[in-house]
Structure 1
Amino acid sequence: MTVRLRPPAPADLAALGRVAYETGFFGGSAARYFPDRRLFALLWVWPYLHGAGGPGCRIAEDKHGQVLGYVLGSADPVRYRAALAQAGVLGLLASVGGEVRRPLACWGYLARLGRWGSPHASEELYPAHLHINLLPAARGLGLGRTLLTAHLDALRAAGVPGVQLSTTAENGAALRLYRRCGFEVLARQPTDLWRPWLGRTTEHLTLGLRL
């Protein structure tokens, strides 16, 4: 498969949002817990395309321009929080205006996320964070490692001292990739965030890499 990497742009929101939504439940569709894909894209992708995206953000696409996956992140926690807050306001306005499908279910999940959020590492040591997602058809080709390596190289070139990410014990394939690239577990805590959909407690993990 011929694949090229390129930086994202605001016009990529729909394509990146589709990847995020189709992989947002441990590699499967986020529709199980979040009914509105547009709101999902707004909260999980929009901030990186509107002021918070750091060095190394990349889209992977095939020769036809079809987006296969991405790595997105921010090296500025303050800027990221400001962009996320702006996205939250836009999402709230869309929910009140009737543009969001089943807003109570969506915001109910977000309330659970606020209650059972992931632990975080020191922003002084690990100011950057990242997210990487691949469509099922693009897995097993080494593309995840290609994206992650490109992102980490760009962070190093920019002088970023460290990067962290959050995941769960359910993401076995992703954990193997992160560990192969040198990430270590910095914090872990049990969480009931996913209990309505998994039927059990799982474990949040924070991984970090000093650059």
Structure 2
Amino acid sequence: MPAAPGMIRPFHPSDLPGIYRICLLTGEAGGDATGLYRDPDLLGHVYAGPYPVADPGLTFVVVDGLGLVGYIVATADTHRFEQWLERRWWPTLRARYPVREDPHDGTEDHVLVGRIHDWAAADDALVDRFPAHMHIDLLPRAQGLGLGRRLVETLAAALRERGVPGLHLGVDSRNEGAIAFYTRVGFTEAARHDWGRTLTLDLT
């Protein structure tokens, strides 16, 4: 029987493999994305890995008796983070993953590789008001226990200590459970897109 999860602590470098694993297991609108990617690290390279490297002080993890069960990663300054990505993160990954065509076999590696080579910058108007952004993922056994709320509250407190006025995130429209969760913890909808929604949280 798994131990009840509940311990939230700051990121340690040994957590990175677990973060990548959880990113993949929750990467398909909250469900398991393992079957979508030939390279299991691609999702983590794009949506999880750079954050604790760029600023480990804004990454927090949840652990239980079996190991890592969730995380929240963030940056306090999205524009500065994007500049860091261009200098320090994308060059190595662009060399490792050349642009590729859709193999038409149901896999989506080519989609993420395309994002590595052509990352869409955040909207200036959004970032001026809500400069921080985040990603959060919990394995199923850690869901419904209030841990997501605690992770958001932990991150929000860290951002307020830095004087950050607001936080934003993107969520897939198919992930209705996540949208409901974000609404419960205080996020409001700022915009709708083909891929999903942008939600914001006022930290002032």
Fold shared by both chains (TM-score > 0.5): yes
**Contact 2:74/2:135 (CA < 8 Å) preserved in 1?**
yes
Whole-Å Cα distance in 1 between the matches of residues 173 and 108 of structure 2?
Answer: 25
Matches for 1:176-187 after TM superposition, within 5 Å: 176-187=180-191
Letter in 1 for 2:16: L
Matches for 1:16-165 after TM superposition, within 5 Å: 16-53=19-56, 55=58, 57-64=59-66, 66-85=67-86, 86-95=88-97, 105-111=108-114, 120=123, 122-165=126-169
The structure 2 residue matched to 1:14, chosen from 14, 17, 21, is: 17
Whole-Å Cα distance in 2 between the matches of residues 134 and 119 of structure 1?
Answer: 25
Letter in 2 for 1:77: T
Task: Give the share of equivalent positions with the same residue, in percent.
Answer: 32
SS of the equivalent of 2:54 reads coil
**Contact 2:75/2:133 (CA < 8 Å) preserved in 1?**
yes
Whole-Å Cα distance in 2 between the matches of residues 79 and 87 of structure 1?
Answer: 13
Distance 1:169 1:188, change over 3 A: same
**Contact 1:119/1:205 (CA < 8 Å) preserved in 2?**
no
Distance 1:118 1:94, change over 3 A: closer
Aligned counterpart, 1:197? none
SS of the equivalent of 1:165 reads strand
**Contact 1:47/1:80 (CA < 8 Å) preserved in 2?**
no
**Contact 2:70/2:137 (CA < 8 Å) preserved in 1?**
yes
Displacement of 1:91 in angstroms is 2.0
Whole-Å Cα distance in 1 between the matches of residues 35 and 94 of structure 2?
Answer: 21
Letter in 1 for 2:97: S
**Contact 2:78/2:127 (CA < 8 Å) preserved in 1?**
yes
RMSD of Structure 2 on Structure 1 (CA): 2.8
Whole-Å Cα distance in 2 between the matches of residues 185 and 176 of structure 1?
Answer: 11
Distance 1:53 1:152, change over 3 A: same
Given the two structures, how large is their TM-score scaled by the length of structure 2? 0.81
**Contact 2:48/2:135 (CA < 8 Å) preserved in 1?**
no
SS of the equivalent of 1:156 reads helix
Displacement of 1:50 in angstroms is 1.5
The size of the alignment, in residue pairs, is 191
Given the two structures, how large is their TM-score scaled by the length of structure 1? 0.78
